[in-house]
Protein backbone atom coordinates (compact mmCIF):
# COMPACT_ATOMS: atom_id res chain seq x y z
CA UNK A 1 0.00 0.00 0.00
CA UNK A 2 3.06 2.19 -0.05
CA UNK A 3 2.21 3.21 -3.61
CA UNK A 4 -1.27 4.25 -2.59
CA UNK A 5 0.11 6.35 0.23
CA UNK A 6 2.65 7.93 -2.07
CA UNK A 7 0.13 8.71 -4.81
CA UNK A 8 -2.32 10.27 -2.41
CA UNK A 9 0.36 12.27 -0.65
CA UNK A 10 1.42 13.69 -3.99
CA UNK A 11 -2.20 14.49 -4.85
CA UNK A 12 -2.75 16.30 -1.63
CA UNK A 13 0.54 18.14 -1.70
CA UNK A 14 -0.46 19.43 -5.12
CA UNK A 15 -3.76 20.72 -3.82
CA UNK A 16 -4.75 23.44 -1.45
CA UNK A 17 -4.19 21.02 1.40
CA UNK A 18 -0.51 21.84 1.15
CA UNK A 19 -1.05 24.79 3.45
CA UNK A 20 -1.48 22.38 6.37
CA UNK A 21 2.21 21.62 6.15
CA UNK A 22 3.20 25.21 6.64
CA UNK A 23 4.51 26.07 10.06
CA UNK A 24 2.47 28.58 12.00
CA UNK A 25 2.42 30.40 15.29
CA UNK A 26 0.22 29.46 18.17
CA UNK A 27 -3.41 29.44 17.06
CA UNK A 28 -4.76 31.19 20.13
CA UNK A 29 -2.52 34.18 19.38
CA UNK A 30 -3.73 34.14 15.75
CA UNK A 31 -7.37 34.16 16.84
CA UNK A 32 -6.79 37.02 19.24
CA UNK A 33 -4.88 38.98 16.59
CA UNK A 34 -7.70 38.47 14.08
CA UNK A 35 -10.30 39.21 16.73
CA UNK A 36 -12.56 36.44 15.37
CA UNK A 37 -13.22 32.86 16.40
CA UNK A 38 -14.51 30.84 13.44
CA UNK A 39 -16.80 28.18 14.79
CA UNK A 40 -18.03 25.20 12.72
CA UNK A 41 -21.62 24.24 13.56
CA UNK A 42 -24.13 21.72 12.23
CA UNK A 43 -27.42 23.17 11.01
CA UNK A 44 -29.52 20.02 11.05
CA UNK A 45 -30.06 18.87 14.61
CA UNK A 46 -32.67 20.76 16.57
CA UNK A 47 -32.22 22.07 19.27
CA UNK A 48 -28.42 21.70 19.18
CA UNK A 49 -27.89 23.55 15.94
CA UNK A 50 -30.62 24.53 13.49
CA UNK A 51 -31.73 27.27 11.16
CA UNK A 52 -33.99 29.80 12.80
CA UNK A 53 -36.30 30.79 9.94
CA UNK A 54 -37.16 34.11 11.61
CA UNK A 55 -33.57 35.24 12.11
CA UNK A 56 -32.16 33.46 9.06
CA UNK A 57 -29.21 32.18 11.07
CA UNK A 58 -28.12 29.08 12.89
CA UNK A 59 -29.07 28.97 16.55
CA UNK A 60 -29.05 26.38 19.30
CA UNK A 61 -27.26 24.82 22.25
CA UNK A 62 -23.97 24.24 20.40
CA UNK A 63 -24.01 27.75 18.98
CA UNK A 64 -24.58 29.35 22.38
CA UNK A 65 -21.60 27.49 23.79
CA UNK A 66 -19.39 28.66 20.94
CA UNK A 67 -20.57 32.22 21.41
CA UNK A 68 -19.85 32.06 25.13
CA UNK A 69 -16.35 30.70 24.49
CA UNK A 70 -15.66 33.47 21.96
CA UNK A 71 -16.86 36.03 24.46
CA UNK A 72 -14.56 34.80 27.16
CA UNK A 73 -11.62 34.81 24.72
CA UNK A 74 -12.55 38.44 24.06
CA UNK A 75 -13.16 37.98 20.33
CA UNK A 76 -16.10 38.11 17.93
CA UNK A 77 -17.70 34.94 16.63
CA UNK A 78 -18.13 33.86 13.06
CA UNK A 79 -20.39 30.85 12.51
CA UNK A 80 -19.65 28.51 9.65
CA UNK A 81 -22.14 25.81 8.76
CA UNK A 82 -20.51 22.39 8.21
CA UNK A 83 -21.89 18.99 7.24
CA UNK A 84 -21.22 15.88 9.21
CA UNK A 85 -18.82 14.53 6.54
CA UNK A 86 -16.98 17.82 6.06
CA UNK A 87 -16.56 18.85 9.67
CA UNK A 88 -13.19 17.17 10.27
CA UNK A 89 -11.56 18.36 6.99
CA UNK A 90 -12.87 21.89 7.68
CA UNK A 91 -11.08 21.83 11.02
CA UNK A 92 -7.87 20.22 9.76
CA UNK A 93 -7.64 22.61 6.81
CA UNK A 94 -8.09 25.56 9.17
CA UNK A 95 -11.29 26.83 7.62
CA UNK A 96 -12.70 26.76 11.13
CA UNK A 97 -10.92 27.26 14.44
CA UNK A 98 -13.19 25.16 16.56
CA UNK A 99 -16.06 22.72 16.06
CA UNK A 100 -19.27 22.71 18.07
CA UNK A 101 -20.83 20.00 15.99
CA UNK A 102 -22.19 17.14 18.06
CA UNK A 103 -18.78 15.57 18.49
CA UNK A 104 -19.33 12.53 20.68
CA UNK A 105 -16.07 11.34 22.17
CA UNK A 106 -14.52 8.05 21.13
CA UNK A 107 -10.91 6.99 21.57
CA UNK A 108 -10.44 6.45 17.82
CA UNK A 109 -11.83 9.88 16.98
CA UNK A 110 -9.60 11.50 19.59
CA UNK A 111 -6.56 10.32 17.62
CA UNK A 112 -7.46 12.82 14.90
CA UNK A 113 -8.64 15.85 16.89
CA UNK A 114 -8.48 17.12 20.47
CA UNK A 115 -11.63 17.28 22.55
CA UNK A 116 -12.34 20.01 25.08
CA UNK A 117 -14.09 19.23 28.34
CA UNK A 118 -17.56 17.79 27.88
CA UNK A 119 -20.15 20.54 27.51
CA UNK A 120 -22.98 18.09 26.99
CA UNK A 121 -23.60 14.54 28.12
CA UNK A 122 -26.09 12.65 26.05
CA UNK A 123 -27.94 9.54 27.14
CA UNK A 124 -28.25 7.13 24.25
CA UNK A 125 -31.47 5.16 24.43
CA UNK A 126 -33.18 2.34 22.54
CA UNK A 127 -36.80 2.77 21.54
CA UNK A 128 -39.30 0.37 19.98
CA UNK A 129 -42.82 0.53 18.60
CA UNK A 130 -45.45 0.16 21.30
CA UNK A 131 -46.58 -3.46 21.59
CA UNK A 132 -43.26 -4.84 20.36
CA UNK A 133 -42.15 -8.10 21.94
CA UNK A 134 -38.85 -6.42 22.77
CA UNK A 135 -39.22 -5.34 26.38
CA UNK A 136 -35.78 -4.57 27.77
CA UNK A 137 -32.57 -3.28 26.31
CA UNK A 138 -30.80 -6.59 25.86
CA UNK A 139 -33.71 -8.10 23.93
CA UNK A 140 -32.38 -6.36 20.85
CA UNK A 141 -29.50 -8.84 20.66
CA UNK A 142 -29.54 -10.27 17.13
CA UNK A 143 -32.26 -7.81 16.06
CA UNK A 144 -32.11 -5.01 13.50
CA UNK A 145 -31.56 -1.58 15.00
CA UNK A 146 -31.63 1.74 13.14
CA UNK A 147 -29.59 4.83 13.87
CA UNK A 148 -28.56 7.98 12.07
CA UNK A 149 -25.30 8.47 10.24
CA UNK A 150 -22.70 10.63 11.91
CA UNK A 151 -23.50 9.56 15.46
CA UNK A 152 -21.24 7.48 17.65
CA UNK A 153 -24.06 5.05 18.40
CA UNK A 154 -22.46 2.41 16.21
CA UNK A 155 -19.39 2.29 18.42
CA UNK A 156 -21.54 2.32 21.54
CA UNK A 157 -23.86 -0.45 20.32
CA UNK A 158 -20.96 -2.54 19.13
CA UNK A 159 -19.52 -2.40 22.62
CA UNK A 160 -22.74 -2.96 24.56
CA UNK A 161 -24.81 -5.26 22.33
CA UNK A 162 -22.44 -6.57 19.66
CA UNK A 163 -24.94 -8.96 18.06
CA UNK A 164 -27.44 -6.24 17.14
CA UNK A 165 -27.47 -5.59 13.39
CA UNK A 166 -27.08 -1.88 12.86
CA UNK A 167 -28.62 -0.05 9.91
CA UNK A 168 -27.81 3.65 9.62
CA UNK A 169 -29.92 6.14 7.72
CA UNK A 170 -29.16 9.67 6.57
CA UNK A 171 -31.13 11.43 9.26
CA UNK A 172 -33.16 10.79 12.39
CA UNK A 173 -36.60 10.91 10.68
CA UNK A 174 -35.60 8.18 8.20
CA UNK A 175 -34.28 6.02 11.04
CA UNK A 176 -37.53 6.62 12.89
CA UNK A 177 -39.77 5.79 9.91
CA UNK A 178 -37.80 2.60 9.31
CA UNK A 179 -38.72 1.55 12.85
CA UNK A 180 -42.34 2.67 12.54
CA UNK A 181 -42.67 0.63 9.33
CA UNK A 182 -41.13 -2.44 10.93
CA UNK A 183 -38.07 -2.45 8.70
CA UNK A 184 -35.96 -2.53 11.83
CA UNK A 185 -36.94 -3.76 15.28
CA UNK A 186 -35.59 -0.86 17.31
CA UNK A 187 -34.08 2.60 17.04
CA UNK A 188 -31.14 3.93 19.05
CA UNK A 189 -30.98 7.69 19.56
CA UNK A 190 -30.17 10.39 22.04
CA UNK A 191 -32.61 11.19 24.82
CA UNK A 192 -33.00 14.68 23.30
CA UNK A 193 -34.13 13.28 19.95
CA UNK A 194 -36.38 10.77 21.61
CA UNK A 195 -38.13 13.47 23.62
CA UNK A 196 -38.49 15.49 20.47
CA UNK A 197 -40.18 12.63 18.61
CA UNK A 198 -42.41 11.89 21.58
CA UNK A 199 -43.48 15.55 21.81
CA UNK A 200 -44.15 15.80 18.07
CA UNK A 201 -46.17 12.59 18.04
CA UNK A 202 -48.34 13.84 20.91
CA UNK A 203 -50.10 11.90 23.65
CA UNK A 204 -51.01 8.94 21.51
CA UNK A 205 -47.34 8.46 20.80
CA UNK A 206 -46.48 5.00 19.79
CA UNK A 207 -42.94 4.55 21.03
CA UNK A 208 -41.67 2.78 24.09
CA UNK A 209 -38.30 3.27 25.74
CA UNK A 210 -36.15 0.27 26.58
CA UNK A 211 -34.30 0.37 29.87
CA UNK A 212 -31.54 0.72 30.83
CA UNK A 213 -29.89 3.28 28.53
CA UNK A 214 -27.29 1.92 26.14
CA UNK A 215 -24.73 4.38 27.38
CA UNK A 216 -23.67 7.97 27.51
CA UNK A 217 -21.93 10.06 24.91
CA UNK A 218 -19.67 12.93 25.97
CA UNK A 219 -19.69 15.88 23.60
CA UNK A 220 -16.65 18.10 23.43
CA UNK A 221 -15.68 21.05 21.28
CA UNK A 222 -13.24 19.93 18.58
CA UNK A 223 -9.83 21.55 18.24
CA UNK A 224 -6.87 20.74 16.00
CA UNK A 225 -4.14 18.68 17.61
CA UNK A 226 -1.00 20.49 18.68
CA UNK A 227 -2.73 23.62 19.98
CA UNK A 228 -2.32 23.33 23.75
CA UNK A 229 -2.78 27.08 24.33
CA UNK A 230 -6.12 27.19 22.57
CA UNK A 231 -7.26 23.95 24.22
CA UNK A 232 -6.40 25.33 27.65
CA UNK A 233 -8.16 28.64 26.95
CA UNK A 234 -11.29 26.84 25.72
CA UNK A 235 -11.32 24.52 28.73
CA UNK A 236 -10.90 27.48 31.09
CA UNK A 237 -13.77 29.25 29.34
CA UNK A 238 -16.02 26.19 29.73
CA UNK A 239 -15.12 25.85 33.41
CA UNK A 240 -15.99 29.46 34.07
CA UNK A 241 -19.31 29.04 32.21
CA UNK A 242 -20.07 26.26 34.65
CA UNK A 243 -19.08 28.40 37.63
CA UNK A 244 -21.10 31.45 36.63
CA UNK A 245 -24.20 29.41 35.90
CA UNK A 246 -24.09 30.38 32.23
CA UNK A 247 -23.81 26.71 31.22
CA UNK A 248 -26.95 25.90 33.18
CA UNK A 249 -28.71 28.85 31.57
CA UNK A 250 -27.87 27.67 28.05
CA UNK A 251 -29.11 24.20 28.94
CA UNK A 252 -32.38 25.55 30.29
CA UNK A 253 -32.92 27.79 27.25
CA UNK A 254 -32.87 24.90 24.81
CA UNK A 255 -33.64 21.77 26.81
CA UNK A 256 -34.98 22.87 30.19
CA UNK A 257 -38.38 22.45 31.87
CA UNK A 258 -39.98 25.23 29.81
CA UNK A 259 -39.08 23.65 26.49
CA UNK A 260 -40.74 20.71 24.80
CA UNK A 261 -37.83 18.57 26.01
CA UNK A 262 -38.51 19.17 29.75
CA UNK A 263 -35.07 17.95 30.74
CA UNK A 264 -33.09 18.59 33.90
CA UNK A 265 -29.34 18.90 33.79
CA UNK A 266 -27.71 15.94 35.52
CA UNK A 267 -24.12 16.66 34.48
CA UNK A 268 -21.55 19.39 34.83
CA UNK A 269 -18.82 20.60 32.50
CA UNK A 270 -15.97 18.19 33.21
CA UNK A 271 -12.96 16.66 31.50
CA UNK A 272 -13.83 13.61 29.39
CA UNK A 273 -12.48 10.43 30.96
CA UNK A 274 -10.17 8.66 28.58
12 forms part of the interface with another protein (CB under 8 A): yes
Task: Give whichever of 62 and 246 is closer to another protein, judged by the CB atom.
Answer: 62
Should residue 9 be labelled a site residue for another protein when binding is judged by CB under 8 A?
A: yes
Interacting positions 107-136 with another protein (CB under 8 A)? 108-109, 111-113
Strand 186-190 to 57-59 pairing: unpaired
The total of other beta-carbon atoms located within 10 Å of residue 271's CB is 14
Contact 130, 219 (CB under 8 A): no
Closest CA to 192 of 267, 118, 119, 121: 121
Task: Please state the closest distance from residue 169 (CB atom) to another protein, in A.
Answer: 5
Query: What is d(CA 56, CA 117) in angstroms, rounded to the nearest whole number?
Result: 30
Binding mask 140-179 for another protein (x = CB under 8 A): ----x-x--xxxx-xx-----------xxxx---x--xx-
Distance CA 247, CA 79 (A): 19
Q: Is 183 in the site for another protein (CB under 8 A)?
A: yes
On whether the CB atoms of residues 186 and 113 are closer than 8 A, the answer is no
- Residue 224 Cβ vs another protein, minimum distance, rounded to whole Å: 7
* Min separation Cβ 31 and another protein, Å: 19
Please say which residue, 147 or 235, places its beta carbon nearer to another protein.
147
Sign of the four-CA dihedral 49, 149, 119, 116 = negative
| Sheet with 44-45, edge to edge strand ranges | 44-45, 49-52, 57-59
Which residues sit at the interface with another protein, rule CB under 8 A?
1, 4-5, 8-9, 11-12, 17, 20-21, 84-85, 88-89, 92, 106, 108-109, 111-113, 144, 146, 149-152, 154-155, 167-170, 174, 177-178, 181-184, 224-226
Amino acid sequence: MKTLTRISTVLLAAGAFACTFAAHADQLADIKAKGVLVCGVMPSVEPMGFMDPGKGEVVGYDIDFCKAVAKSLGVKIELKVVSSEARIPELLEKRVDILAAILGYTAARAEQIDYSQAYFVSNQILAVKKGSDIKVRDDVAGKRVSTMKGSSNLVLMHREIPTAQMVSYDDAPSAFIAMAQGKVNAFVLSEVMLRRFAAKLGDGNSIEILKPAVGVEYWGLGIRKGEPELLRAVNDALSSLEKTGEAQKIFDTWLGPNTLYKMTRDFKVAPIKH
